[in-house]
């Protein structure tokens, strides 16, 4: 897993790389600019006009180096330099000298009226400010960014959209970019919903820091990638049997909401659980599942001592549901996985939250999280509230959404890299609940089951969207892709016994 570093740590990594490699700062800048230019060339053809908008600091130096590389790659490039501060950083000035030898069209802006209209179809490379910015834009900087945002041009930002704070809630104006390439590691701001207004899509690439440096740095936030999932799948034994792979008991599925429980139970089976049962909140004649492998025990109380219980999908919030949840919280042998109405019951009945066993897993969406733990001012505030709640409850909490984040009892947060907007559909969360429960049933600790389950669920959604498109994606489409994803990861794993 990759550490999500703050900007003080990023600066330290740059400085230590310069010192230990050794390499000059201008050569490290050259390395980063080549990474950006190579990434840019894979997205945009060299017939596309490019306008590099550069400040006078090191981010501007990156931009001038990028302009040079794109000119050499055949792009029609013009450059605008916004003189926030003269004479600019040392590396900025050196890159300006190198660029001027190629004689590109140059515009020098010292005041807002120096702004020139951007030709239609031009891609603007935003190199005004770097990720170390920690105060709102003012004066010339604010005016330039406002004009850029109102130009209608497609903007691609270097490292972070200018004006966006990497480690704190952004106040004031910031560039609204179509794309951004983050250097060396994802920036925390890009992982939170607040960034949606400033960056539609982003990627990150390494720039060649000195090996092993990040191992020495403390971190509370991590970026989870596919390779991390591949190492998390439980092994299947040659002489294994269904009881060895655990029993998942899904509690919920009241009348009119049966499908929620069935989706969770079927996902548990597809994710490798040996058995799955539904404990319906109010059993009736309409309880026949679409999947015959799912059992419906008439008396599920005995399973509370042996099964992993996933409670909440379609449970409802009436007296019967509360009675069911209390029984789970007080008698199940393993801490449960709680979703949907189980979380709403906890929020409505604070006394129930006190009964939550340590080691439980909660999977709220943002609305359920707010009902449980209160309103927050912005994404950074909510992240710290999430972290504190996981520590206080001694449980794992998955806050669902883009880059779903899993908080652990140790106070660590794990951001997910898989998934797509098509997964914002009815039943998707029920499928996730079943996947996590299956991994718990197969022996994974709560934290690993949640982190791996979120990543696996997202990859299944990505495959389903690739085959069917994002609009109209069904939760059942994800279930079909779960074993496919596992097989693909197994094929690339050095461990032939994997999953």
Q: How far apart are CA 479 and CA 56, in angstroms?
A: 51
Distance from C-alpha of 406 to C-alpha of 428, rounded to nearest angstrom: 17
- Per-residue pLDDT, 331: 95
Domain with CATH 3.40.1190.20 in the chain: 227-491
What tokens appear for 101 in the block? Answer: 């030898």
Mean pLDDT, each 10-residue run in order, the chain (499 residues) = 94 96 96 98 97 97 98 98 94 97 96 94 96 92 97 97 96 96 94 94 95 93 92 88 95 93 97 96 71 90 94 95 95 96 95 94 98 97 98 98 97 97 97 98 97 98 97 97 93 53
| Sheet containing strand 177-183, strands side by side | 106-109, 77-82, 50-54, 123-127, 154-158, 177-183, 199-205
Assigned token pair, 148: 């850029």
Residue 288's pLDDT is 62
Q: Specify the pLDDT at position 493.
A: 59
In contact, 266 and 294? CB cutoff 8 Å:
yes
Please check whether residue 264 is in contact with residue 313, taking contact to mean a CB–CB distance below 8 angstroms: yes
In the prediction, which pLDDT does 145 show?
98
Burial class (CB in 10 A: 0-12, 13-18, 19+), 288: exposed
Ramachandran angles phi, psi of 466, nearest 5° = -65, -35
Helix (H, G, I), strand (E, B) or coil at 162: coil
Residue 487 burial (C-beta neighbours within 10 Å; 0-12, 13-18, 19+): exposed
CATH 3.40.50.10260 residue ranges in the chain? 20-217
CB 64 within 8 A of CB 96: yes
pTM score, whole prediction: 0.95
For residue 247, the 8-state DSSP code is E
Element (H, E) at 33: helix 25-43
SS3 298: coil
pLDDT tens readout for residues 451-484:
999 999 999 999 999 999 999 999 999 999 999 9
Domain 227-491 grouped into CATH 3.40.1190.20? yes
Alpha helix positions (H), 44-138: 58-72, 90-100
Res 227: pLDDT = 87
Contact assessment for residue 60 and residue 54, using Cβ atoms and an 8 Å cutoff: yes
Q: Which of 422, 418, 457, 419 is nearest to 436 (CA)?
A: 457
Paired sense of beta strands 405-407 and 413-416, if any: antiparallel
CATH code for the domain defined by 20-217: 3.40.50.10260
For residue 289, the model assigns a pLDDT of 63
Strands 337-338 and 106-109: unpaired
Q: Where does residue 340 fall: left (phi above 0), alpha (psi -120 to 50 degrees), or beta otherwise?
A: left
C-alpha dihedral (375, 380, 383, 385), degrees to nearest 10: -50
Q: Give the pLDDT of residue 287.
A: 62
Residue 498, pLDDT score? 42
In the chain, the largest separation of any two C-alpha atoms, in whole Å, equals 82
């Amino acid at each position: 897993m990759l550490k999500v570093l703050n900007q003080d740590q990023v600066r330290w990594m740059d400085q230590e790389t310069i010192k230990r490699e050794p390499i000059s700062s201008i050569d490290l800048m050259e390395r980063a600019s080549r990474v950006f230019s190579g990434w840019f060339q894979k997205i945009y053809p060299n017939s596309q006009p490019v306008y590099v908008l550069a400040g006078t600091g090191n981010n501007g130096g990156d931009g001038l180096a990028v302009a040079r590389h794109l000119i050499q790659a055949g792009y029609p490039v013009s450059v605008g330099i916004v003189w926030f501060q003269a004479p600019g950083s040392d590396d900025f000035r050196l890159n300006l000298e190198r660029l001027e030898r190629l004689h590109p069209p140059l515009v020098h802006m010292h005041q807002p009226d120096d702004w020139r209209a951007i030709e239609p179809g031009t891609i603007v490379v935003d190199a005004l400010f770097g990720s170390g910015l920690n105060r709102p834009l003012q004066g010339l900087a604010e005016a330039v960014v406002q004009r850029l945002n109102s130009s209608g041009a497609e903007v691609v930002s270097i490292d972070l959209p200018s004006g966006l704070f990497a480690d704190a809630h952004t106040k004031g104006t910031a560039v609204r970019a179509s794309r951004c390439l983050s250097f060396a590691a994802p920036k925390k701001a890009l992982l939170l919903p607040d960034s949606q207004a400033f960056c539609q899509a982003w990627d990150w690439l390494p720039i060649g820091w000195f090996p092993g440096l990040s191992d020495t740095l403390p971190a509370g936030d991590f970026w989870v990638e596919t390779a991390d999932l591949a190492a998390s799948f439980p092994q299947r034994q040659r002489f294994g049997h269904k009881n060895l792979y655990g029993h998942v008991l899904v509690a919920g599925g009241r009348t009119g909401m049966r499908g929620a429980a069935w989706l969770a139970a079927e996902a548990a089976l597809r994710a490798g659980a040996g058995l799955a049962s539904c404990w319906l909140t109010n059993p009736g004649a309409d309880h026949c599942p679409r999947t015959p492998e799912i059992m419906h025990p008439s008396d599920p109380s005995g399973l509370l001592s042996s099964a992993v219980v996933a409670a909440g999908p379609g449970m409802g919030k009436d007296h019967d549901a509360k009675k069911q949840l209390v029984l789970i919280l007080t008698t199940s042998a393993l801490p449960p996985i709680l979703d949907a109405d189980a979380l709403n019951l906890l929020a409505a009945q604070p006394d129930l939250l006190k009964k939550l066993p340590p080691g439980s897993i909660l999977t709220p969406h943002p609305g359920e999280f707010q009902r449980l733990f209160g309103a927050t001012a912005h994404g950074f505030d909510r992240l710290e509230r999430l972290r504190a709640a996981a520590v206080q409850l001694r449980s794992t909490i998955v806050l669902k959404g883009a880059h779903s984040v899993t908080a652990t009892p140790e106070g660590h947060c794990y951001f997910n890299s898989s998934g797509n907007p098509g997964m914002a559909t009815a039943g998707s969360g029920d499928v996730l609940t079943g996947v996590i429960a299956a991994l718990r049933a197969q022996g994974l600790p709560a934290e690993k089951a949640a982190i791996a389950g979120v990543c696996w669920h997202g990859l299944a959604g990505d495959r389903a969207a690739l085959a069917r498109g994002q609009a109209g994606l069904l939760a059942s489409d994800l279930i079909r892709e779960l074993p496919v994803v596992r097989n693909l990861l197994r094929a690339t794993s050095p461990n032939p016994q994997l999953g």
